[in-house]
Amino acid sequence: MKIDVLTIFPEYFDSVFSFGIIRRAKLAGLVEIDVRDIRSYARDKHKMVDDRPFGGGDGMVLKPEPIFAAVEDLVGTSERAGYPEGTRVVLLSPQGRPLTHDAAEALARQADHLVMICGRYEGVDERVNEALVTDEISVGDYVLSGGEPAAAVVIDAVVRLVPGALGSETSAENDSFSDGLLDCPHYTRPADFRGMKVPEVLLNGNHAEIEKWRRQKALEKTRSVREDLLTGENGDM
């Protein structure tokens, strides 16, 4: 998978992709990540990437010209219908659809080339969204200073689902949200820590009982903190 990140603050990502699963995926050749400065695509002598919004109001808006030029350079066209197969252009925005496990899984499965556009200030000229963007994604119902943290979150969520990125092929299958529930509790040694003991069922070696316990605890946790997830089949359990 090829990932290009468009930002006016490329230094934000100096070390973000140098750790853990993303680093291993890069070293294994499973993913290539390039961070590109939107200013380098500005054509005027001052390298302007933002301007005041039409109609008045506070703040600045990222201009369309540099972003169109960047996408054209990376994808070969600014015509969304003409993108090469497997290309997705993602705008990080509070107005986007929420990032979910299913959305991350779809990007990991379907995309060969991701172009991530990091918004800033009051946002991005809407013509970018209308003409270039295939996916507008939000990482939550709150406003960040820019799309850079959101891009890092999306990339992390997607890359760990790329086949081969995790040490175990079943790790992602057992994550929270993979089956619509939150994850169950996990324990490790020692079995007794300051009087707090690991549940006996996890020590008896009966895998059928362990799986039943884990499923029940995942359901209890989901009911407790994310009851909204309990719909359909899971909600009837």
Active site residue 98: no
Is the pLDDT at 169 greater than 70? The verdict is no
Kindly give the pairing relationship between strand 113-118 and strand 87-98: parallel
> Buried (b) or exposed (e) across 162-184, using 16+ Cβ within 10 A?
beebbeeeeebeeebbeebbbbb
Q: Where are the domains of the chain?
A: 2-159, 176-235
Catalytic residue among 66, 120, 136, 160: 160
- Give residue 231's pLDDT band: very low, low, confident or very high (50, 70, 90): confident
pLDDT in tens, 34-79: 999 999 999 988 999 999 999 998 899 999 999 999 999 999 999 9
CATH class belonging to 176-235? mainly alpha
Q: Which band of pLDDT confidence, cut at 50, 70 and 90, is reported for residue 6?
A: very high
Please indicate whether residue 163 is annotated as part of the active site: no
Give the tokens for residue 85: 């197969």
Q: Give the model's confidence band at 180: pLDDT under 50 very low, under 70 low, under 90 confident, else very high.
A: confident
Which of 175, 179, 183, 220 is the catalytic position? 175
Among candidate residues 24, 94, 215, 220, the one labeled active-site is 94
Q: What class does CATH assign to 2-159?
A: alpha beta
Say yes or no to pLDDT of 186 above 90.
yes
C-alpha 104/C-alpha 162 separation (Å) is 10
**Mean pLDDT of all residues in 160-168:** 87
- Per the annotation, the verdict on 122 as an active-site residue is yes
- pTM: predicted TM-score of the whole model, two decimal places: 0.88
